């Protein structure tokens, strides 16, 4: 069970977490992020120290360190509160030393930065263990750095194979004795025992690694939203939680910027075929989203509508392309030279359309493309992607999608037999309307009479 920063941002949130751990079935392990906002503050403090202001750097953390003490005061009895307060004081003085070193030798900062960032998770996990004990749960703090063994790529370390065994050794004895291990996410250590971090948001990754090492029945990611939603709730108020997603659907959604787990994070779960559940710690009764292997993921349906604004499309048309070879390569080399990522691509015999979301290099790219053909650029486009295993094999879904938006000008339609997304472009100012209609036809149909609604959408 992994609890994110917002799930432990204050005393009330910690109390919620204790309730969630208490009602969990079977044996559990808790993995926790730094309390909300603390990692950002720690990072900013390091930047300040690099600029030479060590005192200011340490002082900038006073409020957040005090927040830990306040939470402890609200939730812990005297003895454990005193122990935690002295842990906070020790952390403060260690950080002060580190800030001083960074200020005088800024070159040392990558490893020392990880050392400093790691205090966020160390404090939150010690605090959570104490809070759980206060709620009569047999919790035991375990230093995650003894489990997650990594290379020395500071700031974005990669876990090594020995992590599995180290995790099993450290945790199974605790679990066997009937205790709940409580670990900080995000942190690890090198073979020399130097602290590392797994990259921002890395606690999800830690949870997946630990769950995979232990052969967990389920990995739960507790956050502040009720799972993964069918659509951006700022566009469609009737957005709802997707009950079940496949790993691949979740990966597609992540790519389109939906608020969902990073595909890399759940890879250890995928490798072991362990279901991942995303739940809301503020509303634990709402089931959340279960992410599972394809076969179990209700393959007949559309799951979500994702979109991304601010897209630029580029079309290159040239009769020379007809029957020629090497043309696409020449075209993509232009983008490669300018280190510009291309997202969606569609081609015909004589033209290629592609989309980019960062147009800063276009002024250099366009003249080079003009050597290949006629170039047309359109800005302010939106990519819309309809995602679901159902697109693979359910006839009629594409027809339903397009007839629901038949007055809206759609371009660059992209779909493949093996893909689970149907992607296309619309003008940014028509995107909202398109997304609302698509959501209605794909998800709100069950609320009304399906046929009636379809007729209305299609205008029959």
| Binding stretches for Mg ion (CB under 5 A) | 5, 33
Window 39 to 78, contacts with ligand ASP (CB under 6 A) = 39
Tell me the window of 107-115, 169-177, 197-205, 264-272 that interacts with ligand ASP (CB under 6 A): 197-205
Name the phi and psi angles at 115, rounded to 5. Answer: -55, -45
The three-class DSSP label of residue 318 is coil
Q: Which residues, including other chains, have CB under 8 Å from residue 447's CB and lie 6 or more apart?
A: none
Q: Which residues, including other chains, have CB under 8 Å from residue 6's CB and lie 6 or more apart?
A: 13, 36, 223, 224, 281
Q: Which residue's Cβ lies closest to Mg ion? A: 5
Please name which of 178, 179, 148, 153 lies closest in space to residue 166, comparing C-alpha atoms. 148
What minimum distance in Å lies between the beta carbon of 212 and ligand ASP?
17
CA separation for the pair 355, 174 (Å, rounded): 52
CA separation for the pair 282, 225 (Å, rounded): 8
Q: Which does 166 bind (CB under 5 to 8 A by kind): ligand ASP, Mg ion, none?
A: none
Tell me the window of 20-28, 31-39, 142-150, 208-216 that interacts with ligand ASP (CB under 6 A): 31-39
Residue 7 within binding range of ligand ASP, rule CB under 6 A = no
CA separation for the pair 351, 157 (Å, rounded): 42
Among 186, 247, 256, 335, binds ligand ASP (CB under 6 A): 186
Beta bridge partner(s), residue 354: 314, 345
What minimum distance in Å lies between the beta carbon of 117 and ligand ASP?
7
The three-class DSSP label of residue 405 is coil
5 or 275: CB nearest ligand ASP: 5
The three-class DSSP label of residue 298 is coil
* β-pairing verdict for 304-317 and 351-356: antiparallel
Among 202, 288, 388, 390, binds ligand ASP (CB under 6 A): 202
The secondary structure element, H or E, covering residue 95 is: helix 78-104
Beta bridge partner(s), residue 150: 159
Residue 201 within binding range of ligand ASP, rule CB under 6 A = yes
For the chain, how big is the Rg over CA atoms in Å? Answer: 25
Q: Which does 184 bind (CB under 5 to 8 A by kind): Mg ion, ligand ASP, none?
A: none
Q: Which does 186 bind (CB under 5 to 8 A by kind): ligand ASP, Mg ion, none?
A: ligand ASP
Residue 220 within binding range of ligand ASP, rule CB under 6 A = no
250 or 434: CB nearest ligand ASP: 250
Read off the DSSP letter of residue 5: G
Tell me the window of 199-207, 340-348, 350-358, 413-421 that interacts with ligand ASP (CB under 6 A): 199-207
31 or 386: CB nearest Mg ion: 31
CA separation for the pair 278, 219 (Å, rounded): 9
20 or 354: CB nearest ligand ASP: 20
Helical pair 78-104 and 109-134, crossing angle rounded to 10 deg: 170
7 or 346: CB nearest Mg ion: 7
Q: Which does 268 bind (CB under 5 to 8 A by kind): ligand ASP, Mg ion, none?
A: none
Please name which of 83, 202, 109 lies closest in space to residue 150, comparing C-alpha atoms. 202
Residue with tokens 């029945």: 217
Q: Which does 120 bind (CB under 5 to 8 A by kind): ligand ASP, Mg ion, none?
A: ligand ASP
The three-class DSSP label of residue 219 is strand
Contact between 15 and 75 under an 8 Å Cβ cutoff? The reply is: yes
Tell me the window of 48-56, 93-101, 198-206, 438-446 that interacts with ligand ASP (CB under 6 A): 198-206
What minimum distance in Å lies between the beta carbon of 37 and ligand ASP?
9
Among 13, 120, 171, 391, binds ligand ASP (CB under 6 A): 120
Among 7, 150, 190, 203, binds ligand ASP (CB under 6 A): 203
Contact between 31 and 276 under an 8 Å Cβ cutoff? The reply is: no
Residue 34 within binding range of ligand ASP, rule CB under 6 A = yes
Q: Which residue's Cβ lies closest to ligand ASP? A: 203
Tell me the window of 32-40, 53-61, 167-175, 336-344 that interacts with ligand ASP (CB under 6 A): 32-40
Q: Which residues, including other chains, have CB under 8 Å from residue 176's CB and lie 6 or more apart?
A: none
Residue 264 within binding range of ligand ASP, rule CB under 6 A = no
What minimum distance in Å lies between the beta carbon of 38 and ligand ASP?
7
**Residue ranges in contact with ligand ASP by CB under 6 A:** 4-5, 33-34, 39, 120, 185-186, 200-204
């Amino acid at each position: 069970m992994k609890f994110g920063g917002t799930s432990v941002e204050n005393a009330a949130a910690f109390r919620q977490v204790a309730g969630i751990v208490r009602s969990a079935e079977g044996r559990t392990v808790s993995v926790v992020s730094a309390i909300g906002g603390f990692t950002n503050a720690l990072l900013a403090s390091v930047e300040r120290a690099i600029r030479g202001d060590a005192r200011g750097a340490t002082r900038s953390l006073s409020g957040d360190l005090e927040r830990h003490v306040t939470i402890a005061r609200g939730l812990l009895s005297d003895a454990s509160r005193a122990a935690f307060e002295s842990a906070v004081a020790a952390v403060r003085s260690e950080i002060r030393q580190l800030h001083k070193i960074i200020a005088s030798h800024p070159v040392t900062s990558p490893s020392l930065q990880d050392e400093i960032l790691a205090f966020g998770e160390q404090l939150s996990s010690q605090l959570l263990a104490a809070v759980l004990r206060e709620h009569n749960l047999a919790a035991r703090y375990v230093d995650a750095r003894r489990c997650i063994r990594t290379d020395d790529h500071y700031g974005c370390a990669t876990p090594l194979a020995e992590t599995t065994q180290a995790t099993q050794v450290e945790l199974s004895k605790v679990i066997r004795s009937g205790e709940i291990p409580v670990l900080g996410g995000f942190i690890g250590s090198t073979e020399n025992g130097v602290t590392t971090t797994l990259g921002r948001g890395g606690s999800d990754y830690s949870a997946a690694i630990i769950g995979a090492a232990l052969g967990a029945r389920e990995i739960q990611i507790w956050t502040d939203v009720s799972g993964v939603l069918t659509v951006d709730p700022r566009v469609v108020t009737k957005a709802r939680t997707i009950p079940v997603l496949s790993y691949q659907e979740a990966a597609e959604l992540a790519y389109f910027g939906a608020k969902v787990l990073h595909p890399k994070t759940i890879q250890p779960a995928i490798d072991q075929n362990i279901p991942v559940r995303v739940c809301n710690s503020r509303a634990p009764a709402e089931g959340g989203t279960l992410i599972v292997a394809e076969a179990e993921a209700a393959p007949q349906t559309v799951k979500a509508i994702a979109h991304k604004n601010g897209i630029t499309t580029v079309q290159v048309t040239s009769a020379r392309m007809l029957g020629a070879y090497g043309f696409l390569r020449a075209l993509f080399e232009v983008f490669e030279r300018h280190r510009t990522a291309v997202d969606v691509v569609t081609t015909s015999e004589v033209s290629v359309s592609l989309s980019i979301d960062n147009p800063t290099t276009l002024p250099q790219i366009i003249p080079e493309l003009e050597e290949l053909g006629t170039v047309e650029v359109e800005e302010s486009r939106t990519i819309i992607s309809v995602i679901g295993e159902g697109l693979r094999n359910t006839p009629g879904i594409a027809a339903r999608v397009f007839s629901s938006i038949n007055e809206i000008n759609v371009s660059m339609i992209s779909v493949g037999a093996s893909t689970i997304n149907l992607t296309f472009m619309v003008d940014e100012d028509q995107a909202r309307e398109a997304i609302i209609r698509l959501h209605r036809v794909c998800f709100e149909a069950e609320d009304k009479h399906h046929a009636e609604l379809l007729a209305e959408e299609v205008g029959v």
